[in-house]
Copies of this chain bind each other. A is one copy, B any other.
Amino acid sequence: MHIRRSKDLVKWIFENQHKFQTVRSCSSSLRYKELEENAAQAQAEHVAPPMTAADDKPRPHITPEISFKHEDLQVRLAAPYQLNPKPEVTDLGFGKYFTDHMLKINYFKQLGGWQKPEIMPFENLSIHPASKALHYAIQLFEGLKAYRGVDDKIRLFRPDLNMERMNLAAQRSGLPTFDGDELIKCVSRLVQIDQEWVPHSETSTLYIRPTLIGTEPTFGIMAPESALLFAILSPVSAYYKTGGDGAVSIYADPNVVRAFPGGVGNRKVGSNYGPTIEATARAAKLGHHQVLWLFGPNHELTEVGAMNIFVVYVNEQGDKQLSTPPLNGLILPGVTRRSIIELASQWEDLVVKEEVITMDKVIELNKKGRLLEMFGAGTAVVISPISKVGFLDHEIHVPTMKQAQPVFQRVKDTLLAIQYGHIEHPYAKVIS
């Protein structure tokens, strides 16, 4: 065939598209019917029934029948030439480098639900451009870390809490739920395979990012019939770039709102983050690291986006008090947050409380010299002391770094001791 002019080529395509139509649409419709019959048969044989999106009751105990299973895990190792060089620990930053392998678990409602988990060489995802994850933010993630202990053993920190939260986010997003223990086992195997990526350092860790996205390629705004759960690993060091003392500065702007009653502020879904980018960039321009999200006419402190917030002050009774806002639906229920409350409650020299904290209260405590510390807490940031809060046109200088024996340091030391195996503790789970 001779090369035709471009216009002729296009014309040729139009004409031939029509001819293909009848034949192909028949065969494709046949294939589709076969799939449906197979799925129906699979269901009749008591294979995993597909999850319904509208089920809104918390489901902490997922029965194994409706989950993927670690015992089905298939592993395909990277070829030697696919292995990536490991960066210097000093160059790590946060979430810039990724390891050699990843975990993928597909979900297809019409094929009976969850498919077999697969570990494979790290690769780009092949995603249909109409996937609901890319248009309607049907997506959620978790963040946990693998720590290399003083005994060279690798530990996770309370991974069961991440799994519980991930399942709650899945329910809220119309995505399928699963047995958290099975995912912990699959992720642990992934970490084992890439274990040399777990830094030999107590200032760095291997960050684990399980992610669940809706992959169904249709434009209806509804629960997807297909999904992909994947986990990737990234060796990380400090989350923030800070000055010499390691303290951060946060900016509270009552005109921007992160979450609201009836929304998803208490679920770790993508939709909580995209809308914060612009306000965070504005805060950065003013020299702050992050936004302190307020809510309501009283400017209640909620959280900082990448971390929960804690305040240490001298209370009315003259006692030292560690406070954090209560989980009111607007705040992400942090694993670190919960652990701090549980650990510090056992310390006799400290009153620990979940209570509403307003900006007025922070300002008043500071004026009276009773505000001692503020700090953020989260898996990514660990414990991040806060030395400054910008609020409207004033700056609140918090004497966090001026305390002789600051609470934030004690909290941090306790967490790191558990995470890096200096002490035995039920929060730490040895996986390798």
Contact = CB atoms under 8 A, between A and B. Distances in A.
A126 interface: yes
Contact of A257 (B56, B236, B263): B263
A87 B281 contact: no
A213 B134 CA distance: 7
Given A218-B96, A221-B273, A172 B86 contact: no
A44 interface: no
Contacts of A12: 80
A336 interface: no
A219 interface: yes
A244 interface: no
A20 to B, nearest CB: 5
How many chain A residues sit at the interface, stated as a range, is 35 or more
A346 interface: no
Interface string A207-225: 1010101000111111100
Nearest to A196: B14
Interface string A117-152: 000001011111110011111110100000000000
B124 A127 contact: yes
Interface stretch (A21-29, A347-355, A407-415, A423-431): A21-29
Interface string A46-70: 0000001110100000000000000
A256 B6 CA distance: 54
A177 to B, nearest CB: 13
A85 interface: yes
Contacts of A281: 52-54, 174, 222-223
A110 interface: no
Contact of A275 (B52, B209, B269): B269
A115 interface: no
How many copies of this chain does the complex contain? 2
Which of A10, A23, A275 gathers most chain B CB within 10 Å? Answer: A275
Interface in A10-41: 10, 12-14, 16-18, 20-25, 28
A403 interface: no
Contacts of A102: 129
A129 B125 contact: yes
A306 B102 CA distance: 36
Contacts of A86: 17-18, 21, 25
A318 interface: no
Contacts of A80: 12-13, 16
B219 A94 contact: yes
A269 to B, nearest CB: 6
A280 B236 CA distance: 39
A73 interface: no
Contacts of A78: 13
Given A220-B94, A275-B263, A281-B53, A137 B135 contact: no
Given A220-B95, A274-B271, A281-B54, A134 B211 contact: yes
Query: What 6 A-B pairs have minimum CB-CB distances, sorted nearest first?
Result: A95-B219, A137-B270, A257-B262, A24-B85, A136-B273, A137-B274
15 contacts: A12-B80, A24-B84, A25-B85, A54-B284, A54-B285, A98-B217, A125-B126, A125-B127, A135-B141, A136-B270, A221-B273, A221-B280, A221-B306, A257-B262, A257-B263
Interface of A: 9-10, 12-14, 16-18, 20-25, 28, 52-54, 56, 77-78, 80, 83-88, 94-96, 98, 100, 102, 122, 124-130, 133-139, 141, 171-174, 193, 195-196, 207, 209, 211, 213, 217-223, 230, 232, 234, 236, 255-257, 260-264, 269-278, 280-282, 284-285, 305-306, 380
